[in-house]
Homo-oligomer: A and B are copies of this chain.
Amino acid sequence: MRIAVLGSGFIARFYAESLHAQRRKDYITMVYSRTAENAKRFADDYGLPYYKTSMSEAIAHDEVDVVLISLPNHLHEAAVMECVKAKKHVICTKPLGRNALEAKRMLDAVEKAGIFGGYLEDLCYTPKFLKSMESVKRGDIGRVLWAKSRETHPGPHSDWFWDKEKSGGGAIIDLGCHCVEISRNFIGKNIKPIEVMCWADTQVHPIDAEDHAIGLVKYANGAIGQFEVSWTFRGGMDLRDEVMGTEGTIWLNSFLRTGFEMFTTGKGSDGYVAEKAESTTGWLFPVGDESHELGYPNMFTDMFEAIEEKREPLESFYDGYVVNAILDAAFVSAESKRWEPVILEDWRGDESEDTQKKWESYDDNHYLIKKEVLPNGDITFILKHKSTGEVSRKVILAK
């Protein structure tokens, strides 16, 4: 694949590093930036043949097969519409839109045009996440009850993130989009998200948007997704997922505790030690291959193979739309201070979910609440009578 990158900022560089790491088949041929200087520097840094300051020219270029949007949030829609016009496949960084309305327009346009629309949700492609998903699908942890994802750090580097008009919000739109989609994968993409409860506040920074938020997303099968996002965390970037199932538990740490620990007095070094570390001396926790650990190579492989195989990628524009709809409900809830419904006019998953619980019976008259082997070998059963509801305890003595 020959790729045009729209944008030349932080995330565009991350994408380029990943696309040019190892000996990949795919490569970037074009970069677009609003300023010629940035476009040129990016093209030079990655050895690209072309750069443009006209978005439509960049997209229409003959040597471009697929367009990669890594522009600020408020420019996604216009860029997608240009791809639609040029009938070029498009893959777009997260979040898809600033809200579900924008996302829905992009989704509809892409589907109508018959082009490919891939949603660059890298954290749903990390090696740990993909292996976890295999485990969950195999049933290793049983029925998923709760899936929490947390992303917190001291705040983004570019100015437009801090401008609510351009970004669509604060930590919720910037980080919550990751967390919501991670939980949604664990719980099941076919399960409908029903309602959201969210707390959000601006605790530290002089901005209009929230810099800290916690939200709960209730799904049709009773499972709960949780997101914890913040631009006020101190200590680096905290990126953790936790999943509870009826038969097991999964804990992932993608950034701060990955088996790489280092202490330095700083005396021997020239001052630079590790990225995003918030300190350059003392105990540091670098990540081996940051780009891979964050999912980029797996994501691009899936996207390009999906295009070739004419199949949906793991993360599509439709997923981006659902995420936006959930975040919309979160913003409403943060204001209304109550649970708010997720409004999904276009729902493609299971319509209803049987939430009838199947209790385990101990005998004809009792449900089993808990069985426990005591240290002395006695076995205790805590039971509930099926009709009276009375709780009782039965002990089988060890021989």
Contacts and interface: CB of A to CB of B under 8 A. Distances in A.
A50 interface: no
A78 to B, nearest CB: 21
Contacts of A337: 197, 338-339
Contacts of A349: none
Given A131-B260, A214-B226, A275-B375, A138 B23 contact: no
A139 B270 contact: yes
Interface in A357-399: 357, 359-360, 367-370, 372, 374-375, 380, 382, 384, 389, 391-393
A89 B162 CA distance: 54
A237 B310 CA distance: 40
B232 A23 contact: no
A248 B283 CA distance: 9
A123 interface: no
Contacts of A264: 135, 140-141, 234, 247-248
A297 B275 CA distance: 23
Interface stretch (A79-87, A92-100, A152-160): A152-160
Nearest to A305: B23
Interface stretch (A63-71, A106-114, A205-213, A313-321): A205-213
Nearest to A134: B286
A222 interface: yes
A360 B224 CA distance: 38
Contacts of A278: 263, 265, 282
A265 B157 contact: no
Nearest to A252: B260
A101 to B, nearest CB: 24
A119 B207 CA distance: 42
Contact of A162 (B155, B298, B382): B382
A132 B284 CA distance: 12
Interface string A291-308: 011000110110011000
Interface string A207-235: 11000101010100010101000101111
Given A127-B288, A214-B226, 11 more contacts: A127-B289, A142-B265, A142-B267, A154-B370, A158-B393, A197-B197, A214-B224, A232-B246, A248-B262, A253-B260, A257-B259
Interface of A: 21-26, 126-132, 135, 138-143, 145-146, 152, 154-155, 157-160, 162-163, 197, 199, 201-208, 212, 214, 216, 218, 222, 224, 226, 230, 232-236, 238, 244-254, 257-270, 272-273, 275, 278-279, 281-289, 292-293, 297-298, 300-301, 304-305, 337-339, 357, 359-360, 367-370, 372, 374-375, 380, 382, 384, 389, 391-393
